[in-house]
Structures are given as C-alpha cells and as structure tokens.
Amino acid sequence: MDRIKPRTLSGFMELLPRDQVVFDRMVAILRESYSLYGFTPLDTPAIEASEVLLAKGGGETEKQIYRFTKGDTDLSLRFDLTVPLAKYVALHYNELSFPFRRFQIGKVYRGERAQRGRFREFYQADIDVIGDGKLDIANEAEVPAIIYKTFTALGLKRFKIRVNNRKVLNGLFDLLGLKEQAGDVMRTIDKLEKIGPEKVKAILVDDFAVPAATADQLLALLSTDDPMAALEGFKGKNELLDLGIDELSTVVKYMAAFGVPADHFMVDLTIARGLDYYTGTVYETVMLDHPEIGSICSGGRYDNLAEYYTEKQLPGVGISIGLTRLFFVLQDQGYLNPEVLTAPADLLVLPMTGDLTAAISFATACRAAGIRTQLYTEAKKFKAKMNYADKTGIPFAAFLGEDEINAGTVTVKDLLLPDPATPEEAEEQKAAGLFKQVTLPTNQAVNYVKAHLDARPNSQPILDAPALAEKYHLEQP
C-alpha cells in the first residue's frame, strides 16, 4: 500500500498540545473581556449559501471567497463573521432585543496568498452592536475601549488603535471631484502603508484618471501629523465631510472618557478598510514593533449591511481580532510565557496492580472533587509511566499498589516540587506542609491534592513579562 505523506496545507495552522492550551487561554481571556461589556456569545454556520455571503460582495471580497457546489446548491465558506451576523439578525429580528450586542469567536476562510503571519483558515474574535433603525455614535467610541481592554488583558502594551471615518474620506473625494472614483480611490489609499505614496499616486493617476495635482493634495492631507487640525480648513464646504468630521471628533472625545489612553490611539486618515460595507467610523490596530504583520484588529460602522436581507434598517458597529495572526506573532517572537501550566490533568493515577477497581474508584472520587484526573491504564514499566507524567507536565501522581489497596491508602507524589538540596530546605518544605511524597488514607489523599492545587497559581499570564520588559525597556509589574 502506498503511504500518503502527512502534510498541512499552506496557510493553515496546527498547534501542538502545549501551544493549543495557550491559544485556548487567549480565547478565554477574550471571552471574559467581551462579556465584561455586556456582549452575548453567538455562533453561526461556517458554510452559507453563496447568495447570502455575496449579497453585498464584489471587489476583494469576491476574489478571496472559497466557493463550491454540492449537487445543485451554490455554497461558500464564510470569509468573516459580520455578514453571517447580518443574516442572523435579519432572520431572527422578532426574537432579539436591540441594541443587540454579540461576540463570536470562530474560524473564517479567505483564499488569499498564504505568507508569513497570514493564513487562509484563521480564527476571528468579533464583537458587534446592532441597532434597530438607529445606533448612537457612543457605541463607535466604546469599541476602541474594548480593544484596549482586551489587548491589555492579554498582556500587550505596544499597540495602537488607528481611527478614521469613511464620511470624511467620501466628503473629501466629493470636494476634490473624485466622487465617481470614490470606491477605487478608497481601496487604493487603504494600501498606502503597504506600497507607499509614490505607488499610490501612480495608481490613482494612471488607473483611475485622478489629476496629479489632486492626488498630491489628497496625499498631503493623508500624511499630515495633525489630521483633525488639517480638516478644520475644509469645514463648511461639503455636508458629508462636515458630518464625518463631527462624528470623528465625537468618537475621539468619548474614547478618552471610556478610558483609552491618548498614546494608544490616533486619528489616521489613511485608514479606509478594504471591505465594501463600512460607512462611518473605521478602525485598525497594529503592534508597533511588528508593522509587517499588518492589522491584528479592525472593523467599523456599517449602516446598510442588512438591506439585502430585510427592509428594516439595522445599523451596526464592530471589530474583529485576527486571533490566529496575533498568536503567530506572539509565538514567533518568543513572547509566550513558558511557565503557563499546560498539563492536560492535575493528577495522574497510576495503578500498580492488575485489578484496576481501586484506582478507578480513586480517580472517580478525585473528579467528583473537581480535580482534573487522568487514569493511566497502559501496561508499561514504571519508568515509562513517570516519563509520560514528566512530558505532559502533570503536577501530581497517585500510586495504588498492593500495600496501598490493602491499607485503604494512596501514595501521592508532587512531581513539580524540587528535591531539597540540604536538610535545611527539607525542614522548610516540611514546615510549609510540602512533601515530595506522602501516603494518606484515600479520602485524605483527595483533600490533600485538592488543597495543594488550590494553593498554587493556576492562571499565570500567557505572555512572558520579563521578556517583554527586556525588549521594550518596560517596567515590570
């Protein structure tokens, strides 16, 4: 039989058990942060009817989507979590309360070129607020506060939230005589950071017939150090532009009240967002020391996304964290804390006799007490069993041999407690109630393990604070 070489497709990430545990810890932190702001969890199918996902498609969206047929059904894999949300809200409108605040963490799929830090299958962690008819702009200012809270909860310090408003851009395009090319111009300036002003100007002039002087004027405004001050000179000349400036000013003001420090956000008029459905405030968040990775959190305001599914106007605002990309950067740069407990269990029960009844009963009692317990039943030598415990990082082992079973006891060994180097250290451990190995009655053994687990920190930060501090000259907490 020919063997098939196992491989993982380019652009798809698989993690070893230890890294998967750390990744899941990140997901748990995000869930906790989102819940803190009153968002409810939601899940939607990974596969949707293509007409649903592409209702307001076109542009980059349609080029990147994975589309296929099953029988006579035209299907697509979701490319983000926002369009399925719009379908969900339109479908369940009468069963929901508005504003509807939801978070969703799940995989999405984009058929773009796989490269370092960019994946074809990846997790997004989204929050969205959906209004019924109207949605107050304060929600657009709260979103950056949630971004800030989430990233700091993860242990990140060096990031910046960049904010803009599409009404500002569309108003400027109208004022500069670029209304007909607005979509093309917006998508082009969204690439400004990636390809630079010269190439952007060349695309604007050569591909979209923008006058060279107009392109220079636009690029000069987009590169100013004080965007809000620069926009003052355009006030009163275009109604849409005035509205965008007012909204942007309000968002900046409220962001400060929501607790976002000034050094963690900036107004950046080059932020346009490539997706077609944003209509107001837009966001991108970058790691300052890794601009090559691009945005790890982005989103914005959309007013008309649901119009293809319902006559009701359901405006919304939301953001998406590229969780797979973020994890890749943290892992690649050595920022993950090596001390994070990633063992699959807290206790490994090792039967030392052929009859497993006593070991099974003890494992059952431990699980009833809330101790994550694994029962090792493989017929291997003692050394192999201990090697397994060492490799998995399980902190405690429990032995049940003939002597323990006859006496109704269990021998518990602390696998993480270092052997005392001196008699003095041995006395110190004993005084603290710490024993490398102890034999106790069965019920006391359960309580002993439980008490020692509770006394140990089981939630170390997932990032290595000393490593970050050394690299960025930060004060350690």
Place of tokens 């998967």: 20
Q: How far is CA 282 from the centre of its chain?
A: 18
pLDDT digits (tens, 9 = 90+) for 206-219: 888 888 888 888 88
Chain-centroid distance, C-alpha 305: 23
Phi, psi angles (nearest 5°) of residue 38:
85, 30
CB 93 within 8 A of CB 82: no
Q: What is the pLDDT of residue 477?
A: 36
Please give the domain boundaries of the chain with CATH numbers for all domains: 17-332 (3.30.930.10), 347-454 (3.40.50.800)
Mean pLDDT of the chain: 87
pLDDT value for 58: 60
CA pair distance 5, 21, nearest whole angstrom? 27
The per-residue pLDDT for 125 is 96
| pLDDT for the residue 466 | 54
Q: Is 399 helix (H, G, I), strand (E, B) or coil?
A: strand
Q: What is the pLDDT of residue 360?
A: 96
How far apart CA 301 and CA 135 sit, in angstroms, is 10
Q: 104 pairs with which residues across the strands?
A: 126
Cis peptide before 227 (omega within 30 of 0): no
- Residue 445: phi and psi, rounded to 5, are -65, -40
Task: Please report the pLDDT score of residue 475 as a whole number.
Answer: 43
In this prediction, the residues of the chain whose per-residue pLDDT falls under 50 are 468, 471-477
pLDDT digits (tens, 9 = 90+) for 25-76: 999 999 999 999 999 999 999 999 998 888 766 666 677 889 999 999 999 9
pLDDT at 317: 95
pLDDT tens column, 113-169: 877 777 899 999 999 999 999 999 999 999 999 999 999 998 888 899 999 999 998
49-53: Cβ within 8 A, 24+ apart: 49/73, 49/74, 49/75, 49/76, 50/74, 50/75, 50/76, 52/83, 52/84, 52/87, 52/309, 53/78, 53/79, 53/83, 53/84
